[in-house]
Amino acid sequence: MLVIAKEKAFAVIPGDDCHSLKEARESPEWPEWECAIQTELEQLHRMGTWKLVKKPAGAVPINNKWVFAKKRNKEGVLTKYKARLVAKGCTQHPGHDYIETHSPIMYLETIRAILAIAPTQKLLIQQMDVKGAYLNGMLKERVYMQQPKGFADGTGRVCLLIKTLYGLKQAGREWNIEFDTNSGDEAMPAYIPTPAHISGASEMISQSSQYGSMTFFCSQQ
């Protein structure tokens, strides 16, 4: 007897997520959103994402915004409130506060092809997730940003970015370089270059044979 497994579909509730800090503060779920914001700020400080400095004459700090999302498990049950501070990279100027932006990743179709090949070639597949992935990248350019929207300390200082905050045009590239540099000889990443940004979610595909072991890090946007 043929058994067909049906995929579960989960409804997207209109207005389920907040689209601004103002909306979050006016929401009955503000205590949860506020906790998520504090978690994000603590991570940014722990990672040394910026240092507060007096705004240099002529400097035009870029702005930022809060992005809110509700995380659900495969059953559709709400498991986490997520808040992320994002730099408004659309106000960056080429040649001034960013130079190159390209970072190689794999298309989803490529990952699917590898996953299809894996069983036939007896490949070992593992998944990993790097928390706050972009915050590991080191910023080469001098970029000034306003203090986190709604959470400034009132001193008039601005953030001199040290790490590649989400939203910066070069964030994906610098994280890719950092990951590639620190991956080590035992797990040399193999990438297929495509014009997109790398993300923290990766598939690790390892193959062992008489010629040794190979590990591919397939990062997906």
The DSSP string of 3-50 is: --PPPP--PPPTT-S-SSHHHHHHSTTHHHHHHHHHHHHHHHHHTT-E
**Most confident of the following: 34-38, 91-95, 173-177:** 34-38
Per-residue pLDDT tens digits for 131-171: 888 899 999 999 999 999 999 999 999 999 999 999 999 99
- Tally of CA atoms within 13 A in the half-sphere of 17 that contains its CB: 15
The answer to whether residue 105 is domain-embedded is yes
The answer to whether residue 12 is domain-embedded is no
Say how far apart CA 81 and CA 40 lie, in whole Å: 11
The answer to whether residue 9 is domain-embedded is no
The answer to whether residue 182 is domain-embedded is yes
Comparing 24-28, 135-139, 176-180, 200-204, the range with the smallest average pLDDT is 200-204
How many folded domains does the chain comprise?
1
Structural domain including 121 reads 21-219
The answer to whether residue 6 is domain-embedded is no
